[in-house]
Amino acid sequence: MGTLALAGLLSTIVLIMVGSFVRVSGNGLGCPDWPLCYGQAVPPLGDAGAWVEFSHRLLGGIVGLQIAAVILLAWRHYRDNKIIWRTAVAAGLVLIVQVTLGGLHVLNELPQWTGLIHTAVAMAIAGLLAVLVAVTQPKLQQLVQERAALFDQTDLPVRAAVVAVLTYILLITGSLVTRTGASLACPAFPHCGVADIPESLSGLITIQMIHRIMAFYVAAAIIVIIHRLLKHGRQSKIVKQFAYGLSILLFLQFALGISNVLLALPLWSRVLHLGVGGSIWVVMVLLAVTLRYNMKGHPVGTGS
């Protein structure tokens, strides 16, 4: 189960990045109909835009099969484990919502609201798969075994859960920035760089600055968590891996965010910014759940 859930999680992150590439490259309507493409199961060979969009659908199908396999495995072997069984079923139900949203997004010619919800649901699927990875991966279960000695006298489990939620909200505000066209409303960093704000841009600037302020707040909270991990778990390899991994992702995310502004939204930076942001969200979920639950689905410290 652990390997299959991990494969599904990695595929979902790649799928999110491919979806971002489809959007920012202007190929969101490469296939103007749904579920077919120009009325065909396979798009015309000479239509590059259709194949860009179709690649996203194809990868989505692979992710769907992986989640279906996770549900089947959970039903056969983990029905008595509430966290595994319920999370697997929830991932399947949310996937159905996501597929429906994807179809509506295309058929309604890419409205902002479906795009925003589509991103939010995609991140929710990644989060649910991260929960399954956290409670089934043997390597992460090492952290469960070490938790009592390392973190029982700290508020780290609760803090990690709160920061995971804030990271998810931050991702949604980032999607709102993109969907509303506020990405370049502020041409400078870290300040906005607009002296006299035109009334027509005031709303977009507000959206952009809310996202930036929240990004600084979430980054500060993650830095505190990194410090706590290194302080209490310096002798634990898995704890140090979480700390160093979060540090690298946080640095990359800020560098990509600055690149988006100062380089006027290069395609590569926009795609990676969403991918790294999603990865931070996933790592925070992994950390929060691993600190809380053991492989049998019980809160740590309550027995098995």
pLDDT at 156: 86
Report which of 89, 75, 161 is spatially closest to residue 125, judged by C-alpha positions. 89
Instruction: Give pLDDT tens digits for 202-235.
Output: 899 999 999 999 999 999 999 999 998 888 777 7
Structure tokens at 304: 């098995």
Contacts of 79 (CB under 8 A, 6+ apart): 85
**C-alpha–C-alpha distance, residues 21 and 23, integer Å:** 5
pTM of the model: 0.92
3-class state of residue 260 by DSSP: helix
Instruction: Give pLDDT tens digits for 181-194.
Output: 999 999 899 889 88
3-class state of residue 137 by DSSP: coil
pLDDT at 153: 67
**C-alpha–C-alpha distance, residues 102 and 54, integer Å:** 12
Furthest-apart CA atoms within the chain: distance in Å: 63
Q: Give every residue of the chain whose pLDDT is below 50, as ranges.
A: 301-304
